[in-house]
Amino acid sequence: MAAPRAGFGLPTRVLHWVMAFGILGTFALGAYVARMEVGLGNLWLFGLHKTIGAVLLALAMARIVWHGIAPPPGPLPGPPEWQMTLARAAHRALYALMLGVPVSGWARASASGLDVVIFGRLTLPAIAPASPAVEDALALLHRGLAWGFLAVILLHVAGALKRAIGARDGTLRRMLRG
Ligand code: HEM
Ligand code: HEM
Tell me whether residue 135 is in a domain.
yes
Residue at 55 is within a domain: yes
pLDDT digits (tens, 9 = 90+) for 51-96: 999 999 999 999 999 999 999 898 898 889 999 999 999 999 999 9
Distance CA 17, CA 109 (A): 27
In this prediction the pTM is 0.94
Note whether residue 4 is domain-resident.
no
The three-state DSSP-derived secondary structure of the chain is CCCCCCCCCHHHHHHHHHHHHHHHHHHHHHHHHHHCCCCHHHCHHHHHHHHHHHHHHHHHHHHHHHHHHCCCCCCCCCCCHHHHHHHHHHHHHHHHHHHHHHHHHHHHHHHCCCCEEECCCEEECCCCCCCHHHHHHHHHHHHHHHHHHHHHHHHHHHHHHHHHHHHCCCHHHHHHHC
Q: Best mutation site among 175, 176, 177 for ligand 2, i.e. most ligand atoms within 8 A of its Cβ?
A: 175
**Nearest residue CA, atom 26 of ligand 2?**
157
| 70 CA → ligand 1 middle, Å | 31
Q: Please tell me if the CB atom of residue 75 comes closer than 6 angstroms to any atom of ligand 2.
A: yes
pLDDT at 1 over 70: no
**Ligand 1 pocket, CB under 6 A:** 23, 26-27, 30-31, 33-34, 49-50, 53-54, 56-57, 101-102, 105-106, 108-109, 116, 142-143, 146, 149
Specify if 2 maps to a domain.
no
* 13, 176 contact by CB (below 8 A): yes
Residue 1 lies in a domain: no
Give the contacts of 104 (CB within 8 A, at least 6 positions apart): 138, 141, 142, 145
Q: Which of 26, 142, 150 is the best mutation target for the ligand 1 pocket, counting ligand atoms within 8 Å of the beta carbon and taking the most?
A: 142
User: Cα(123) to centroid of ligand 2, in Å?
Assistant: 32
Overall domain count for the chain: 1
Establish if 5 belongs to a structural domain: no
Which pLDDT tens digit goes with each residue over 120-168?
999 999 999 999 999 999 999 999 999 999 999 999 999 999 999 887 8
168 located within any domain: yes
Q: Are 98 and 63 in contact (CB under 8 A)?
A: yes
What backbone torsions phi and psi does residue 86 show, to the nearest 5 degrees? -65, -40
Domain region containing 116: 10-177
Report yes or no on 80 lying in a domain: yes
Q: For strand 122-124 and strand 116-118, is the pairing parallel, antiparallel, or unpaired?
A: antiparallel
Cα distance between residue 50 and residue 116, in whole Å: 8
Phi and psi angles of residue 126, each rounded to the nearest 5 degrees, phi first: -75, 135
The pLDDT of residue 3 is: 45
CATH number at residue 26: 1.20.950
- Ligand showing the shortest atom-to-Cα distance for residue 154: 2
